Amino acid sequence: MTGIRHAPQAPTRTQELAPGESIDAHRHDDHQIVYAGSGVVAVTTDAGTWFAPGTRAIWVPAGCVHAHRAHGHLALHLLGLPADTNPLGLDAPTVLAVGPLLRELILACTRGPQDDSPERRRLRAVLLDQLRASPREPVRLPSPTDPRLVAVCELLHHDPADPRTLASLAAAAGAGERTLSRLFRRELGMTFPQWRTQLRLYHALRMLADGLPVTAVAHRCGWSSTSAFIDVFRRAFGCTPGAHQRDP
């Protein structure tokens, strides 16, 4: 990333972003929790993209260069935590499950005056307790570097419903199937089917945020049926696509 901005203290605030609006690459000396009160937020680093609807939050560690992008009308809640406060011991961006209590704590801590009152300190203490108990979620789309892998990933980004096998995609990219299979595991830390599922979920969130019907999203993202899409979405995000769209 170029033109990186350095903001020593991670801001704690709520910010409204229009669909497609972004915050350029920057870094903080503090940790930050990134949460979408509405819409979907994507956090991108050189290593890949982490994405989250309202049932998930993204942990961004201190010093990590990252950018934000809004899908749908995004109510972006940003919560800064001191560099010596790391309840999960995380040193890389991570998606965390957000239950009803943690959601309300994030909303409360990012609204109103940012003071050091006893009430604010108690809210922070309970929030840290909730973070310690928050499960980590594998909602990440890693970025490839090998040109052959880049070519295949770009094909599927252009058309996530592309049904071709890895062998067919390898031929189109001028590579061998076994070579690509090894590259997916070595560079991206997952198998080709796992990566394609993450890609389809990412595009599904984008399309749902734009208001497309669930059935249309399932078709455009390559699921064999709407029910299959709903099942995968529920397991990934803890709610159905329809419930996600209805959530404010």
Q: State the pLDDT at residue 1.
A: 52
The whole-model pTM stands at 0.84
Instruction: Write phi, then psi, for 143 (nearest 5 degrees).
Output: -100, 135
Residue 158 CB neighbours (<10 A) = 8
Q: State the pLDDT at residue 129.
A: 93
Structural domains for the chain? 5-140 (2.60.120.810), 144-246 (1.10.10.60)
Q: State the pLDDT at residue 5.
A: 76
Q: State the pLDDT at residue 214.
A: 95
Cα Rg of the chain (Å, integer): 19
**C-alpha dihedral sign at 7, 5, 15, 135:** negative
pLDDT in tens, the chain (248 residues): 556 777 666 778 899 999 999 999 999 999 999 999 988 999 999 888 998 888 899 999 999 999 999 998 999 999 999 999 888 888 889 999 999 999 999 999 998 667 778 888 898 899 999 999 998 887 788 889 999 999 999 999 999 999 999 999 999 888 899 999 999 999 999 999 999 999 999 999 999 988 899 999 999 999 999 999 999 999 988 889 988 877 65
Q: Helices in 42-117 by DSSP H: which ranges?
A: 100-109
Q: How far apart are CA 201 and CA 1, in angstroms?
A: 25
- The C-alpha torsion from 96 through 101 and 105 to 108, rounded to 10°, is 130
Q: What is the largest CA-CA distance in the chain?
A: 63
Q: Are 31 and 57 within 8 A, CB to CB?
A: no
The Cα-based distances of 163 to 21, 168, 172 in angstroms read 31, 10, 13
Q: State the pLDDT at residue 35.
A: 95
Q: How far apart are CA 166 and CA 170, in angstroms?
A: 6
**Closest to 38 in 3D by CA, of 209, 198, 200, 199:** 209
Angle between helices 192-209 and 147-158 (to 10 degrees): 40
Tokens of 36: 């979408």
Q: State the pLDDT at residue 193.
A: 95
Q: State the pLDDT at residue 139.
A: 79
**Closest to 155 in 3D by CA, of 69, 219, 222, 207:** 222
**Closest to 183 in 3D by CA, of 202, 173, 201:** 173
How are beta strands 13-17 and 66-81 bridged, if at all? antiparallel
DSSP E strands in the chain: the ranges are 5-7, 13-17, 22-28, 31-45, 48-52, 56-60, 66-81, 94-97, 136-137, 140-142
Q: State the pLDDT at residue 67.
A: 94
